[in-house]
Amino acid sequence: MIPTSKQLLLQEEVVLYNNIAKIDNCEGRLMVELEIYPVPRIVWEFETIDNSNYNLPHLGQPINSCLGHLFSLNKAVITGETLSMYHFALEKRRGSSLEAIYNSLEEVAHSFTFYLTNTKFLESNQLLKLKQGQGLEQGQPLVIEFSYNQTWTISLIIKKEALEWLNPENRNRGTLITAQGEIWQKNLAEIARNNENDLPNLSLTEVKNIFNNFAWFLSYANGGYTAPLFIEGQRLFDKPAIYPVCALASQYKTTPLEQLSVSWITPCSDLEKYIERFSTFERMIQNSLWKDTFDFTLIQYFQATQHYMAWPVRASAIGAALERLSYAILVEDETNPAQKSKIDLLFDITKTGQAKQTWNLGKKPGQEHISVTGKRLRLMLERIGLTPCRGYNDINDVPEFLEVRNDAVHPRVSSMTKERRWQLIDQGIQWIDEILLWRLGYSDKYLDRSQRKSITPRYDLSLRNSSW
């Protein structure tokens, strides 16, 4: 009953369960579907099988359990109720659920397959296509593979049909599953030849967390949220056969294809080098402040890069993201206690006067003529190596950028030209990209938003903390 890849890839919906089940103590027929297009959701319909005096929950009442044969719904809610059109004594309920689980979340397996939505970053990367050009011409899929740790390897696969659906020239809309991934053991066959019991395994809960983080990490390259709507676990029983033993369908927020924005990925970016930084990303978000910062930054970044978004919204979003990133790197990541305390003054709104005195900010001779906010941003740009001594004068543009951000939230705006305002907005977005890519350790090409072309890193990776 677990759906196959053919039933999931590029399909608008798939039946997850259609059999006898129980809601609380009421027995009936349960139909569950994963709707993928136009937006993902898990919907269900339940009908009692006889006219027994069941105490079936009503609209607005909680469901304690919804259990089928090796199947369950997690956080199911009722959205409607009717009587059966064929037998008025039978009751029907319909609703939605956050998760549909085959077997158990604690079930372990030797390999897992996951399915991602709207993976535009794969379609737009010409470098990857060139590397695998001959295989593509023969109908083979694009494949990216990297070592997750000493035991596990993760691969990402997208077929020609999905690449065509993602192609902007075809003007498709909504959400579909477009890519398939796997986490598997490099030496599975070798270990299995000796003793199957020695095979490492992961639980469905563990891989759910891994794939959620991986999709989050990829969303930054995608220009919008992608998500693992379906995960299947396989176990090796009889050499060399592998059988599915558990699965999870989830309802996630994803970005429709037509709303994906322009990310930092270009046709010449080395996507494989970016994906290899996933382990760095996982270490980063183990810090709760960094996890919140990345979440907040991604929300602001997607607003700032939407092609139809008004400039005040973009400028406000960029400013907010830069503030949070600056605090995370300049304060949270700082290992020198004295320097950390000194920089923290710049972020404490109750000690603005002390911060100006400590950092010698003001309009008097010998003082740095910049606001406290401007000083924070200058320090951030210097931290990643965007300094005049390296040939980059970005810190000189900070006052003008802050002028644009202030114009965005005040009714009276400056006399700055529209052309200059948009230049500074593009520059602000690029600062976000360069700060994040520097923090992750990405070493290849990305988008120069002013010149609309690929560039090699302007930031200095040697300035990163060795512990990252």
Q: Cα(299)–Cα(312) distance, rounded to whole angstroms? A: 16
Tens-place pLDDT, residues 324-357? 999 999 999 999 999 999 999 999 999 999 999 9
Query: What confidence category does residue 129 fall into, taking pLDDT thresholds of 50, 70 and 90?
Result: low
Tens-place pLDDT, residues 368-384? 999 999 999 999 999 99
Tens-place pLDDT, residues 287-314? 999 999 999 999 999 999 998 899 999 9
What's the confidence (pLDDT) of residue 236?
83
> Per-residue pLDDT averaged across 409-427, rounded?
90
Q: Cα(203)–Cα(189) distance, rounded to whole angstroms? A: 20
- Is the Cβ–Cβ distance between 188 and 239 less than 8 Å? no
Length of the chain equals 468
What's the confidence (pLDDT) of residue 138?
66
User: Do you find a cis peptide bond into 240, omega within 30 degrees of 0?
Assistant: yes
Question: Within its chain, how far is the Cα of 269 from the centroid?
Answer: 19
Alpha-carbon distance values, 101 to 89, 105, 209, 221 (Å): 30, 7, 15, 29
DSSP string, 392-427: --GGGGHHHHHHHHHHHHSSS--S--HHHHHHHHHH
pTM of the model: 0.94
Task: Look at residue 99 and give its three-state secondary structure.
Answer: strand
Q: How is the chain split into domains, by residue range? A: 5-102, 109-244, 288-463
Dihedral sign from CA coordinates of 306, 308, 312, 313? negative
Q: How do strand 446-448 and strand 228-236 relate by DSSP bridges? A: unpaired
Q: Cα(158)–Cα(153) distance, rounded to whole angstroms? A: 17
What's the confidence (pLDDT) of residue 124?
83
DSSP string, 360-394: TBSSSTTSB---HHHHHHHHHHHHTT--GGGT--G
- Is the Cβ–Cβ distance between 17 and 1 less than 8 Å? yes
CB atoms within 10 A of CB 379: 16
Structure tokens that stand for 106 in this block: 């604690």
Query: What confidence category does residue 89 fall into, taking pLDDT thresholds of 50, 70 and 90?
Result: low
Task: Look at residue 255 and give its three-state secondary structure.
Answer: coil
What's the confidence (pLDDT) of residue 413?
75
Report the DSSP beta bridge partners of residue 81.
93
First to last CA, the chain: 43
Q: Cα(369)–Cα(360) distance, rounded to whole angstroms? A: 9
Q: Cα(60)–Cα(299) distance, rounded to whole angstroms? A: 31
Q: Cα(259)–Cα(3) distance, rounded to whole angstroms? A: 28
DSSP string, 31-42: EEEEE-SSS-EE
Q: Over 70: is that where the pLDDT of 417 sits?
A: yes
Tens-place pLDDT, residues 437-454? 999 999 999 999 999 999
Task: Look at residue 438 and give its three-state secondary structure.
Answer: helix
Q: Over 90: is that where the pLDDT of 164 sits?
A: yes
Q: Cα(207)–Cα(150) distance, rounded to whole angstroms? A: 16
Tens-place pLDDT, residues 144-158? 999 999 999 999 999
CB atoms within 10 A of CB 431: 25
Q: Over 90: is that where the pLDDT of 420 sits?
A: yes
Q: What are phi and psi of 330, to 5 degrees?
A: -75, -30
What's the confidence (pLDDT) of residue 327?
98
Q: What is the mean pLDDT of the chain?
A: 92
Q: Cα(324)–Cα(24) distance, rounded to whole angstroms? A: 46
Block residue for tokens 């500074």 = 424
Q: Cα(385)–Cα(461) distance, rounded to whole angstroms? A: 8
> Per-residue pLDDT averaged across 263-279, rounded?
94
Structure tokens that stand for 148 in this block: 């997750």
Q: Over 70: is that where the pLDDT of 88 sits?
A: no
What's the confidence (pLDDT) of residue 199?
84
- Is the Cβ–Cβ distance between 350 and 359 less than 8 Å? no
- Is the Cβ–Cβ distance between 443 and 268 less than 8 Å? no
- Structural Rg of the chain based on CA atoms: 26
Indicate the range of 21-30, 63-72, 121-130, 191-200 predicted with least confidence.
191-200
Query: What confidence category does residue 22 fall into, taking pLDDT thresholds of 50, 70 and 90?
Result: very high
Q: What is the DSSP letter of 12?
A: S
